[in-house]
């Protein structure tokens, strides 16, 4: 009788957990949607959350519940082991067939659990279909983040692509000279490409969102992005940031 009660409790818990697992999967897929889907639905990359948790944190809970379910199923099989063996022998009368099928099931079970750690992942740029490009990059913690770029029309792209090498070299030389002059003017302010928006914000007591606004960087961009990476995407110089900070510290922080 005691064993029957334990089995019933396990079955009830399994039913509740599987319902929760299904609900969380739907939540992650259709409510706390991926970056491309957020752009398509809202027109920008908003930070969606439920109970203060984003889709990645709910994904972690989803994994934990799945592991609990696997553990309970194994426990359920152990409690019904005699019945399982009896039915197994009736289905597979031949002993060799039983052994072969048992090995096959074990291999499948192990492969499904370990395959995320042995596969090769492809990382590519993609177009979400709304005139937005997403550049997938990695920060120092190994996490991925997305920088969304507005696409230009084909004519503008061709004009940029067809610029002469001489003009590009002159432009680069002008940028280097401009950066050097800016740095001299703001000798107390030193901005490096290895710094993040958060580090600049903390060091000079200036809002990271204010810097993004002045540099035309989307507010949704992570504050942990390196300035060197952002520079390549949004075409600004370290001197531009130094001027923004210098003006802000001197009290000229109102919008032009």
C-alpha 233/C-alpha 93 separation (Å) is 66
Structural domain ending residue among the three candidates 117, 142, 161: 117
In percent, the amount of the chain with pLDDT more than 70 equals: 71
- pLDDT in the model for residue 1: 57
Residues shown for the chain: 256
Domain boundary among 96, 117, 138: 117
How far apart, in whole angstroms, are the C-alpha atoms of residue 146 and residue 35? 8
Tell me, yes or no, whether 41 lies in a domain: yes
Asked whether residue 238 falls in the same domain as residue 161, the answer is yes
Same domain for 133 and 222, yes or no, is: yes
**CA dist 73 to 50, 67, 79, 113, 194, Å?**
29, 10, 10, 15, 49
Residue 256: its pLDDT value, please? 44
Q: Is 95 found in the same domain as 137?
A: no
Q: How far is CA 199 from CA 82, 115, 136, 205, 220, in A?
A: 62, 38, 22, 10, 17
Q: What is the pLDDT of residue 70?
A: 92
Q: Is residue 107 domain-shared with residue 138, that is, in the same domain?
A: no
Same domain, 137 and 110: no
Supply the pLDDT for residue 18.
Answer: 93
Is 49 within a domain? yes
Same domain membership, residue 113 and residue 139 = no
62, 92, 117 — which closes off a domain?
A: 117
**pLDDT, position 107:** 94
- What is the pTM for the complete model shown? 0.46
* DSSP summary character for residue 89: H
Distances (CA, A) of 83 to 71, 76, 91, 97, 99: 19, 11, 12, 19, 18
Residue 255 lies in a domain: no
Tell me which residue of 256, 40, 29, 7 sits closest to 127, measured CA to CA: 40
**CA proximity to 201, closest of 218, 236, 181, 225:** 225
3-state DSSP helix/strand/coil % of the chain, to nearest 5: 65, 10, 30
Burial class (CB in 10 A: 0-12, 13-18, 19+), 141: exposed
Confidence (pLDDT) at 149: 42
Please indicate, yes or no, whether residues 155 and 43 belong to a single structural domain of this protein.
no
Residue 219 lies in a domain: yes
Task: State whether 36 and 17 are in the same domain.
Answer: yes
One domain for residues 146 and 62: no
Count of domains forming the chain? 2
pLDDT for residue 132:
45
How do beta strands 126-127 and 144-150 pair? Answer: unpaired
For residues 186 and 243, is the Cβ–Cβ distance under 8 A? yes
Closest of 161, 123, 129, 168 to residue 145, by C-alpha: 123
- Asked if residue 180 belongs to a domain, the reply is yes
Based on the fold, state whether residues 159 and 235 are members of the same structural domain.
yes
H/E stretch holding 199 reads helix 197-204
* One domain for residues 133 and 231: yes
Q: Which residue range(s) make up the domain with 18?
A: 2-117
Same domain, 106 and 138: no
Whether residue 254 is contained in a domain is answered as: no
Mean pLDDT, the chain cut into blocks of 10 residues (256 residues total): 81 92 89 77 76 88 93 90 88 89 91 87 58 44 45 51 53 50 58 86 87 87 86 86 85 56
Residues 92-101 have pLDDT tens digits of 888 899 899 9
Answer whether residue 256 is part of any domain: no
Give the containing element (helix H, strand E) for 127: strand 126-127
């Amino acid at each position: 009788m005691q064993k029957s009660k334990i089995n019933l409790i396990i079955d009830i818990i399994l039913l509740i957990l599987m319902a929760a697992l299904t609900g969380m999967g739907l939540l992650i897929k259709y409510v706390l949607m991926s970056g491309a889907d957020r752009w398509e639905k809202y027109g920008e990359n908003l930070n969606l959350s439920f109970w203060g948790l984003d889709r990645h944190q709910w994904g972690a809970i989803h994994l934990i519940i799945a592991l609990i379910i696997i553990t309970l199923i194994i426990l359920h099989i152990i409690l019904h082991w005699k019945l399982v063996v009896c039915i197994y022998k009736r289905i597979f009368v031949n002993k060799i067939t039983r052994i072969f099928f048992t090995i096959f099931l074990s291999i499948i079970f192990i492969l499904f659990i370990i395959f995320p750690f042995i596969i090769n992942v492809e990382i590519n740029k993609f177009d979400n279909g709304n005139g937005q490009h997403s550049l997938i990059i990695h920060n120092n913690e190994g996490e991925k983040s997305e920088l969304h770029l507005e696409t230009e029309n084909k004519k503008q792209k061709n004009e940029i692509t067809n610029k002469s090498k001489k003009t590009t070299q002159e432009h680069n030389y002008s940028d280097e000279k401009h950066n050097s002059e800016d740095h001299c003017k703001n000798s107390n302010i030193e901005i490096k490409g290895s710094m993040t928006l958060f580090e600049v914000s903390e060091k000079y007591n200036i809002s990271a969102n204010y810097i993004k606004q002045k540099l035309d960087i989307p507010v949704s961009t992570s504050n942990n992005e390196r300035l060197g990476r952002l520079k390549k995407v949004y075409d600004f110089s370290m001197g531009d940031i130094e001027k923004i900070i210098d003006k802000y510290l001197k009290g000229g922080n109102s919008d032009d």
